Structure 1
Amino acid sequence: MLKRYILSEAHSSTYSIRLGSMKMFNDLKKMYWWSGMKHEISEFVTKCLIKAEHQVLSRLLQPATIPKWKWE
């Protein structure tokens, strides 16, 4: 119960940017440790339905302009 609370706070906090399980593990191991911690964090992040909010939405690709001269 306490581990689940720690994981959800670390993952859903306003200071968190949801970079993935390794980032979350490296952040949490500074203050907490328990047996199987890395595996539990990996499972928790995998099951998360909320994806990174900082990602830019993809757009259609635009063709690059081809210069007429070598150094243009």
Structure 2
Amino acid sequence: MKKFGILSALGVMAVLQACATTPQQQRQVGCTGAGVAGALAGAAVGNQLGGGSGRDILTAGGAVAGGLAGNNAAGC
């Protein structure tokens, strides 16, 4: 069920980017998509490490780091 929700969110972002009419709107949606995709990837990696409460901390840290890296990679 989580995978369906993630894929749905990414699909909505793609549709929103297609509906954006100005380059500035397209950039804003693209930056949001990059941040969300990076956060999801970082959280997935962080969740694979550690155990117990350490896993929760690494998941949250991975989400933050991934979101920042996604925004950086997109030039936002």
TM-score (norm 2): 0.27
Structure with greater helix share of residues: 2
Q: What's the TM-score once normalised by structure 1's chain length?
A: 0.28
Report which of the two structures shows the higher radius of gyration computed on alpha carbons: 1
